[in-house]
A and B are shown apart, each in its own frame.
Chain A
């Protein structure tokens, strides 16, 4: 590896109540890289993101962002340290309008995009800025959820299944946005089931099974490994 990873996860174990759900997960993301977690439903992908963010509190191991250990921080300090979270359920607030939703997360560094830049990137959010957040279409809500963390200046964005349940044309649009973000040098940890989508943006893949990392390979090997993946993922 050329440089020290921006986000480094070592031996991460996590529990939902009594059940042990992550078993010694290791993960590295270098600055500017997009890394995608693959795995079946229930393999622990979302759980890994939640454990890294600290939403899942019962954890052991090491999570370092630029060398700073995040594990002991209270939940709100994790975001302040530079992790931006886009949850699977998108988490758009019904009692806030689009513009309030967009500006809800406090900025954590001055490297974030301005509201104007965001509205240029997502013109339909600008048009609907006074609408109730949950009145947006699924695709628009996903855009809003991504836009929300871009404004904060987070160093690493954790993106959980952004294409789930969306029409192909919207998936295409979100793909374009991610490519644009990569160009801007964003670091992204993506959970994704959609290979074709992930292939367009991912530099590296991790494969998860039963709460463990079972394999990792660079993005260009995806096509060559298709058969193997189909077997593991059962798709």
Chain B
């Protein structure tokens, strides 16, 4: 068996794959956080809860209604997106223009409500969710064994991230979004319905988190705690990348995921804190973040 730095290569590749998977989720979630923050100036603490909600929606659709994974990929984000739209209209929109910390506190409260409610109903333990039959099994790539579902998640998340990036950079809606991120009042003075744009952005951001949740369901267990554990790491990712750049958020997500995977190989004790350590170093060297602009 071949080795690199004394580590058997299949183990190394395996951890890189796990890193890529985690990185996929970091990327998708920090992307949504960055888009929401850019326009609404709200750090969406409920982002993790919305991710958890997506996973639970898939789980419940399957177990209560027999709706399969593929439909859940569409329905769960839709449901969560609609809930988010209601939240934005009834609550978040009252906080625009005041200290952005209140938006953080409100969404934190919402995250607690969601997490608490699901813990109450389903307990803290995770529920299994099987990968769809089309994606079960694996292939031998010669240098490693690749479970098909994991390969699918990496590809799907790349498609989602690039798709979102294209939506923002290349479409008319994206142009509204970019312009409103710079100067919302002026964009509204040009006749664009900015309040609606804010609502849609929050809804889409939450739907993106839910989509990530459905993708995550067969990999991690569906658990009420899955969101809050993840969101704090994603916050660190966002601090490292800086929220000024969409592409920056995506790249930082994948890179830190892989770095975390590699740490698991070479120094497993530090794997759970390596992203925070990177954050601390970035704060010392470049406080605005790797892709951030000084405010």
A and B touch in the complex (CB under 8 A): yes
Q: What bracket does the count of chain B residues touching chain A fall in? A: 10 to 19
Judged by DSSP, the binding face of A is loop
- A98 CB to closest chain B CB (Å) equals 12
- B130 CB to closest chain A CB (Å) equals 43
Asked whether B190 lies within 8 Å of A79 as measured between CB atoms, the reply is yes
* A78 cross-chain contacts in B, Cβ below 8 A: 189, 191
Asked whether B191 lies within 8 Å of A79 as measured between CB atoms, the reply is yes
Contact flag A76-B193 (CB < 8 Å), given A104-B175, A104-B176, A104-B187: yes
Which of B182, B183, B194 meets A76, CB within 8 Å?
A: B194
Interface stretch (choices A60-68, A89-97, A172-180, A210-218): A89-97
* B186 cross-chain contacts in A, Cβ below 8 A: 55, 87, 91
Asked whether A96 lies within 8 Å of B175 as measured between CB atoms, the reply is yes
Asked whether A106 lies within 8 Å of B182 as measured between CB atoms, the reply is no
User: Complex Cα distance A166/B47, Å?
Assistant: 47
Asked whether B179 lies within 8 Å of A76 as measured between CB atoms, the reply is no
Q: Which residue of A lies closest to B177 (CB)?
A: A95
User: Complex Cα distance A148/B179, Å?
Assistant: 14
A75 within 8 A of B: yes
* B185 cross-chain contacts in A, Cβ below 8 A: 55, 75
B144 within 8 A of A: no
Asked whether B190 lies within 8 Å of A106 as measured between CB atoms, the reply is yes
Judged by DSSP, the binding face of B is helix
Binary A-proximity of B153-197 (CB < 8 A = 1, otherwise 0): 000000000000000000010011011011101111111111100
Asked whether A93 lies within 8 Å of B182 as measured between CB atoms, the reply is yes
- B38 CB to closest chain A CB (Å) equals 10
User: Complex Cα distance A80/B58, Å?
Assistant: 42
* B183 cross-chain contacts in A, Cβ below 8 A: 91, 93
Q: Which of B172, B176, B185, B195 neighbours the largest number of chain A CB atoms within 10 Å of its CB?
A: B185
Residues of A120-150 contacting chain B, CB below 8 A: 148
* A11 cross-chain contacts in B, Cβ below 8 A: none
Asked whether B182 lies within 8 Å of A79 as measured between CB atoms, the reply is no
A100 within 8 A of B: yes
Q: Which residue of B lies closest to A97 (CB)?
A: B175
- B188 CB to closest chain A CB (Å) equals 4
A12 within 8 A of B: no
Contact flag A95-B190 (CB < 8 Å), given A55-B185, A75-B185: no
A108 within 8 A of B: yes
Asked whether B178 lies within 8 Å of A105 as measured between CB atoms, the reply is no
- B249 CB to closest chain A CB (Å) equals 15
- A81 CB to closest chain B CB (Å) equals 9
Asked whether B193 lies within 8 Å of A94 as measured between CB atoms, the reply is no
User: Complex Cα distance A72/B221, Å?
Assistant: 52
Pairs A–B under 8 Å by Cβ, sample size 22: A55-B185, A74-B195, A75-B188, A76-B190, A76-B192, A76-B194, A77-B191, A79-B189, A79-B190, A79-B191, A85-B189, A87-B186, A93-B179, A93-B183, A95-B178, A95-B179, A96-B175, A103-B175, A104-B175, A105-B192, A106-B191, A106-B192
